[in-house]
């Protein structure tokens, strides 16, 4: 699922392409994408883009008349941009759904190019809301603390084009407001905005903290480490993704990146100590961690595998080797 760094770079790419431009037409290829009925989707046609904003993991496109298009890409949704005249002729003139590929959900035709939304797989989880006014927009907010306090594009930018990072006291207060595992606390959109499965793994590895440690039982020093790791990891990955795009539209958005330390690196060596990265799998997600750096050599129980192995489940990394 695209998270704060990915969404930030998406928005920056969109700002340079559609800000101030008119949205001429919207074509929906999936009946499951649009989650609102009022205002109708046709209300945005002919309106100019006035603002782009991130709301958690959502991309918000503000248009004239206080209208907002709000996209949530979920796990497999991705955006694509074409600004050539030939692309407009091929994709923007025919309303027939048969023009779309099976993973094509929507096309947004602007006066200078085409933004398309695709979703891999058969499950249709990506969503589009059309709302009017700030109150309606904020109703979609899950309420988590924004880690960067100024929106992208505002003046007085800090942290490489982002807003000022949330202060330590506020971070500590939010983190300890509920007693969750650190993994859950970081990824809970009611606590922190924009962090998901992938970057929480990287943050916890950077902080050298166990993903299952409880948020109300960590020390002040551990809170400080987690705070600094959160800031450093997010800023670092935003810069990496910007450099990867090099001004082009980001087309290689993925949760699994070669330069990541732990996420998606099961049984690969930890970049810090060389121990094999381990994982906990549950539903469609997984937690990746270094047993040496983060859990004192202890292997965390994988719900499915440890239940199957029972007493044969290894208790430490040496037994797994």
Q: Where in the chain are the domains? A: 4-138, 168-320
Alpha carbons 189 and 210: distance in angstroms, whole number? 20
Task: Name beta bridge partners: 77.
Answer: 119
Higher pLDDT, 88 or 281: 281
Render pLDDT for 27-66 as a digit per residue (tens, 0 to 9). Answer: 999 888 999 999 999 999 999 999 999 999 999 999 999 9
Closest by CA to 223, choosing from 273, 277, 185, is 185
Q: What are the tens digits of pLDDT across the range 89-126?
A: 555 554 433 355 678 999 999 999 999 999 987 778 89
The CATH architecture that domain 4-138 belongs to is Alpha-Beta Barrel (3.20)
The span from the CA of 52 to the CA of 67, in Å, is 12
Q: What is the largest CA-CA distance in the chain?
A: 65
Q: What is the pLDDT, as a whole number, of residue 94?
A: 45
DSSP 8-state symbol, 18: H
> What is the predicted pLDDT for the residue at 254?
85
pLDDT of residue 225: 98
What average pLDDT does the segment 159-180 reach? 88
Report pLDDT digits (tens) over 199-240: 999 999 999 999 999 999 999 999 999 999 999 999 999 999
- The reported pLDDT for the residue numbered 159 is 42
| Rounded CA separation 26/170 (Å) | 41
- pLDDT level of residue 301 (50, 70, 90 thresholds): confident
Q: How confident is the model at residue 82 (pLDDT cuts 50, 70, 90)?
A: very high
Task: Give the global pTM.
Answer: 0.87
Q: What pLDDT is stored for residue 303 in this prediction?
A: 57
Q: Please, which residues have CB within 8 angstroms of residue 34's CB and are 6 or more apart in sequence?
A: 28, 41, 128, 129, 130
Q: How many CB atoms lie within 10 A of CB 193?
A: 22
CA separation for the pair 182, 218 (Å, rounded): 9
Spatial contact of 223 and 188, defined as CB atoms under 8 Å apart:
no
pLDDT of residue 281: 85
- Report the alpha-carbon distance of residue 184 to residue 174 in Å, rounded: 13
Q: What is the mean predicted confidence (pLDDT) over 267-287?
A: 90
Determine if the peptide bond prior to 149 is cis (ω within 30°).
no
Question: If pLDDT is split at 50, 70 and 90, which confidence band does 154 have?
Answer: very low
Asked: is 168-320 a CATH 1.10.150.20 domain? The reply is: no
- CA separation for the pair 86, 92 (Å, rounded): 10
Q: How far apart are CA 248 and CA 231, in angstroms?
A: 26
Q: Please report the pLDDT score of residue 84 as a whole number.
A: 65
Backbone angles phi, psi at 280, to 5 degrees: -120, 125
pLDDT at 282 over 80: no
* Higher local confidence (pLDDT), 76 or 156: 76
Q: What is the pLDDT of residue 97?
A: 39
**What is the average pLDDT score of the chain?**
87
Report d(CA 132, CA 67) in Å as an integer. 4
- Position 98 scores a pLDDT of 38
* 55-76: burial string, b at 16+ Cβ within 10 Å, e else: bbbbbbbbbeeebbbbbbbebb
């Amino acid at each position: 699922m695209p998270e704060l760094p990915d969404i930030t770079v998406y928005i920056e790419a969109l700002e340079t392409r559609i800000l101030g431009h008119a949205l001429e037409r919207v074509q929906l290829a999936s009946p499951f994408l649009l989650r609102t009925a009022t205002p109708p989707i046709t209300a945005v046609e002919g309106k100019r883009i006035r603002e782009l904003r991130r709301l958690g993991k959502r991309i918000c496109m503000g248009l004239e008349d206080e209208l907002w298009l709000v996209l949530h890409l979920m796990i497999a949704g991705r955006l694509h941009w074409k600004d050539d005249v030939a692309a407009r002729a091929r994709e923007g003139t025919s309303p027939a759904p048969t023009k779309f590929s099976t993973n094509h959900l929507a096309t947004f035709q602007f006066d200078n190019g085409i933004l398309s939304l695709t979703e891999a797989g058969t499950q249709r989880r990506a969503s589009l809301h059309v709302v009017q006014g700030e109150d309606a927009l904020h109703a979609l907010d899950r309420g988590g603390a924004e880690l960067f306090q100024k929106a992208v594009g505002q003046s007085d930018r800090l942290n490489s084009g982002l807003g000022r990072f949330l202060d330590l006291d506020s971070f500590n207060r939010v983190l300890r407001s509920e007693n969750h595992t650190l993994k859950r606390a970081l990824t809970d959109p009611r606590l922190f905005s924009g962090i998901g499965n992938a970057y929480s793994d990287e943050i916890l590895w950077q902080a050298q903290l166990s993903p299952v440690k409880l948020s109300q039982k960590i020390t002040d020093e551990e809170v400080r480490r987690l705070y600094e790791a959160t800031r450093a990891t997010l800023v670092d990955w935003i810069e990496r993704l910007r450099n990867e795009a090099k001004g082009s539209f980001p087309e290689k958005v993925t949760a699994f990146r070669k330069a990541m330390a732990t996420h998606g690196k099961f049984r690969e060596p930890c970049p810090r100590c060389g121990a094999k990265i381990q994982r906990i799998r549950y539903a469609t997600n997984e937690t990746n961690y270094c047993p040496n750096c983060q859990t004192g050599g202890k292997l965390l129980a994988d719900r499915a595998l440890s239940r199957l192995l029972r007493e044969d489940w290894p208790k430490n990394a040496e037994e797994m080797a």
